[in-house]
Structure 1
Amino acid sequence: MTRIPHETSGEPNPLQVLTLDRLRQRTSMKWRTHPEDVLPLWVAEMDVPLAEPVVRAVTDALHLGDTGYPAGTAYAEALAAFAGKRWGWGGLAVQRTAIVPDVMLGVVEMLKLVTGTGDTVVVNPPVYPPFYMFVEHMDRRVAEAPLGADGRIDLDVLEEAFRQAVAGGRRAAYLLCSPHNPTGTVHTAEELSAVAGLAERYGVRVVADEIHAPLVVGGAGFVPYLSVPGAERGLSLMSASKGWNLPGLKAALAVAGPGAAADLDRMPEEVGHGPSHVAVIAHTAALRDGVTWLDALLAGLDGNRRLLADLLAEHLPAIRYRPGDATYLAWLDCRALGLGDDPADVFLRRGRVALSSGLAFGTGGTGHVRLNLATSKEVLTEAVRRTAAALR
């Protein structure tokens, strides 16, 4: 698979457009959970204006009164074209896709297709907390295969988890986070091929959450799970939600490998009634016409990763931070600060900075926090200053 380099964007950095006063007018979870004196760098919302093509598409739909039920394959076609140009992957077949309400609800539906009540779903902690919540709510058992000390998939640990998961002839699934949230790790083609080989050997079905796929630094190279040899029976969930800051406009796509098409065909028709038609229009416009905006965002995020590393080295050198190649999230090891299991609580109470507690991310989350980098340089700098002041 040949990866196509990102084009140079002429757009301004979206992270530097909105003032803090303007952002505080928002009514979403990020800006209404905490009092106004708190800097919110926790939940996955970005401090950006929407890409102009998305605004135009949604505005045009509203002017037309085009607010009915979703129909057609425009979203899948836009994603297939984006995948071909961005990742050099021509294997996203529109006929093997289905629209779902969002990525996590799509994950639930895919897991229902390949596992039953009481079966095991393997995850790689520290990992996105809803992996635990959604899986356990659907009466599946979560089994952990922790990442290695280098933040990458430990294939030996994963194999043992697979072996135990299928013991007694039970079905099992592996919920792969790619790119990985919270570490920002981008899995390589070799790693994913090894995963596919293990999954086939043990009869484990892979469901890949690839929502952060558009948010990969150009040199890292995102590899779709379904593009690697042996992944034909895999299922993937993709969306424009994270890349273009559209979490409130719910829509995603389930994508099946050639060997999983029959599974996807068994998904109940009513699942496709959940997505918003306006959201589908917005996501389609983002993938089709919002690439220059995305490239400007990626450049801004890359600058913020470097800025955060410099700020921590200057003000909080005891915090360990390994910048990832994807997402707009930073995973910070604060154990050397001696703040106990939940340093996020200390930073909120003393510094008035809201970060995500590492505890909810499973094994490996104790003493860690997740920081949302998708903000202005000024807000990021003030957040680190407050955090450092909280320790004095």
Structure 2
Amino acid sequence: MSEKRKSQFTKYIALAVFTVVCAVGGYFIGKMGSSLAIPKASIMLATVLFIPAFFIVIAVHEAGHAITGVLVGFDFRTFIVGPFLWDKEGAKWKFKWNTNINTAGGMVLCLPKGKESISKKFALFAAGGPLASIALTVVTAGIAYFIHINEMGSSATKAILLLLSGLSALIFLTTIVPYRAGGLASDGARIIKMLSGGEGAKFEILILTIIASTSSGVRPKLLDIETLTEAQVLGEKINAPFKIYLPGIFHQRAFDEGDLDAAEVHLTNHIAVVDEMPKGFNGVVWLDAAFFHAYARKNLDKAIEYWEKFVPSAMIPKAQIYATEAAIAQLKNDYALASSKIEDAKKELPNMIDRGVAVALEEKLDSLKRRTVIES
């Protein structure tokens, strides 16, 4: 069986298992709700509270990741749940509003401090979320049942507890079932990969380390070149799905260093694998190409060629879109539009998941602004 067919077969099996488990879980939760004799009014109340309840179960899941990350010695940097974001700046934590829809489903960033027993530590970190979710499922369902048999509390309380239990069970199932999509892995898939050891686990650790670093604000030129190169070589050797994204990271690193020739080579390599990327993710390749040729090479024809291939998606930061529009407008001598787009891009920088790229992009926007002022 080919690797592609193997991957598809695994996805279908994971989807089938997930569907069956969800159906069985839903059946038992429904039966429990019936046995607890919850009135329709209380069920309606629970429905109204669905979104707050969802944020609560996501918070518990992400807290599980954060706690295990701290316990294994990782540096806990960021905690996101829905519109709420807590970020560690230096030794202090700072609250911010999260306006990035891509991270609204929850995210925890923890950076490894060393390489000792790193596979085991990452496996525990990945397991922390599902363990917290199943614990919340059992505890809330248990409390609801205890309240019922002892004729304590209101029916509304029982309904809310069952809602929390059901949602937490769903989060547990969607994260513990092993699957991959677009090069990204569920907690379950990551746990299996880490515990299995070997080169696959080593590649996964390298990628997680790179992503955690850039997401926490390490700018591209400061990324460890040995780690990147090792990931590239290993990715090619084991034909890892995520290897297709590495040329983009190399491009950003060289671009940030000012090595434009190397940046263009890496960009060309990234374009060569664009068709292998899922829709929604591949647009950033054309965007990187359009911005590079507009800002660095000042080649309007090339920039427009790549810009016309770009299709916006929710996965692509608006800051990078506005920055590209600004660079193209500047080449067209439309200085008013360029200035406007530069300001729009700057406002969107805090919403970028890749904070390291955001740091580098802000410098380029400042340079573009100075260039626009001089030429106008």
Shorter-chain TM-score bucket reads: under 0.3
TM-score (norm 2): 0.26
Task: Name which one, 1 or 2, has greater alpha-carbon Rg.
Answer: 2
TM-score (norm 1): 0.26
Structure with greater proportional helix content = 2
Structure with greater proportional strand content = 1
